[in-house]
Copies of this chain bind each other. A is one copy, B any other.
Amino acid sequence: MEEIIRLTKDLIRFKSMHSKPDEIRACAEFIEHMLSVWGISYTRLDRGSFPSILALPETRYAPVLLMSHIDVVDAPDDLFLPLEQEGKLYGRGSIDDKYAVALSLVLLKEHFQRHRKQGRNQEALSFGVLITGDEELGGHQGAREALKTMKTDFCIALDGGHLRKIVQKEKGIVRLRLISRGKSAHGARPWLGENAIEKLIEDYLKMKSHFQETRPEHWNRTLNFSIVHAGKSANQVPDYAEALFDIRYTENDDMDEVVRKIRAEIQGELAVEAKEPLFWGVDSPYLKLLLEVAAGTEVGFEHGASDARFLMEHGTAGIVWGADGDLSQHSSEEHVNIQSVYALYGILDEFLKRVEEKRV
């Protein structure tokens, strides 16, 4: 199983950030090369310059699908040098999501080789692997499109949760842009103008009243004041202010209604910049089987959003799950706990063998 960690290190060395699209493609080609050497058939999909790799037992179907991604968020050069220390593997992408790519590939190779030894071919596999290149940008060209080309009964997005927590629901996202307009005037005579920043703050305080105070243990919608820009000159009353907000909502929230109510209360213009559905897993006998194998693991929720939300469009059952990374993704201390990778591998290996034996 150490092969998984070695391979994860190889993958971390690719600076596969969206600021370096060539590195994302080079990383995809590296994986393609491996699959070819192993003799595994796969499909490469390219949409909008983002590569996806799909290896399935049949052309368009897999009972179980393991999903992961090679793209990572920006980081300085030194984070692309993998570093193993005290049972942890540090580096950009270590937990998000290159260990998962490596784990899926090694699982695929091991199962494939076992079948071949026993005279069976790729069709005997109980699972397929999907590796995408745009999860950090929203997954619209990767997971969303790839899922349209195939069918699966149960998708495991290896991109969240942790060894003891399978995620069956994730919040949705709404991005709002608030524009406040005022009237310019000389800074010495503020009463002759209308200060757009003041108006924006008033509007924000009204928006905020539609959100409860957030605590670590909760399941309600949250509001983050992400960006604000206003004003040109120190001695002028600003006539324009602009802000961006990031909302995460749950299945209990009617966001259209919330936005409508906010709009009715504020003075500024509120535009919905983006809306992403929440992920709300469908019940599945596969999950029941997985929980039997993964003793001590529970089902829960997560505040973030992942590519799993695209499963909703097809009514496909699925979960988000993964190794332990102590919530370090996107940080400069990003790491994955190596033992948890091995444990996860063992559970998935056993689970996929039982699927093969039609124990579902």
Contacts and interface: CB of A to CB of B under 8 A. Distances in A.
Interface of A: 171, 173, 175, 186-192, 195, 197-198, 201, 204-205, 214-216, 222-238, 241, 244, 246, 248, 273, 303-305, 327, 329-330
B246 A304 contact: no
Given A189-B303, A189-B304, A227 B232 contact: yes
Contacts of A229: 228-230
Contacts of A228: 197, 228-231, 241
Given A186-B330, A188-B248, A226 B234 contact: yes
A12 to B, nearest CB: 20
Nearest to A227: B231
Contact of A226 (B187, B192, B304, B329): B187
A236 B327 CA distance: 14
16 contacts: A171-B188, A186-B329, A186-B330, A187-B226, A188-B305, A195-B225, A197-B225, A198-B225, A226-B234, A226-B236, A226-B238, A227-B230, A227-B234, A228-B228, A228-B229, A228-B241
Contacts of A234: 175, 226-227, 244, 246, 273
Contacts of A189: 303-304, 327
Contact of A216 (B173, B191, B305): B191
B187 A246 contact: yes
A228 B20 CA distance: 32
A225 B238 contact: yes
Given A190-B222, A224-B195, A225-B197, A231 B244 contact: yes
B197 A214 contact: no
Central interface residue in A226, A233, A241, by most chain B CB within 10 Å: A226
A200 to B, nearest CB: 9
Given A195-B224, A224-B235, 10 more contacts: A186-B329, A187-B246, A187-B248, A189-B303, A189-B327, A190-B224, A191-B215, A191-B216, A227-B234, A234-B246
Given A235-B246, A244-B234, A246-B234, A224 B187 contact: yes
A180 to B, nearest CB: 11
Nearest first, the 3 closest Cβ-Cβ pairs linking A and B are A227-B231, A187-B246, A188-B304
A241 B313 CA distance: 39
